[in-house]
Amino acid sequence: MQTYLNIVQILISIVLVFLVLLQVREIGTGLFGGGSQTTFRTRRGVEKLMFQFTIVVAVLFVLISLLSVVFT
């Protein structure tokens, strides 16, 4: 059981990293720097779906991590 949980956790972590990296939009406003200009805009369409899916995958990652600790 522990082996399966570890494999699932590795797969979920790869998907989570991929989703987070996809959400970095423009040069200078993402992970490695930022402009001083702050804009507010709402997420729509695919961007909103990807954001919500990232949240679901992150919650799954935490739950699998907790299950892994419980079954150890």
Give the tens place of pLDDT for each residue, 34-64.
555 556 667 788 888 998 999 999 999 999 9
- Please enumerate in sequence order all residues whose Cβ is within 8 A of that of 68, keeping only pairs 6 or more positions apart, or say none: 2, 5, 6, 9
pLDDT at 40: 64
pTM value > 0.75: no
Give the pLDDT band of residue 66 (cuts 50, 70, 90). very high
If you average pLDDT over residues 1-28, what whole number do you get? 86
Domain coordinates in residue numbering, the chain: 2-70
pLDDT in the model for residue 42: 76
Inform me whether the pLDDT recorded for 13 exceeds 60: yes
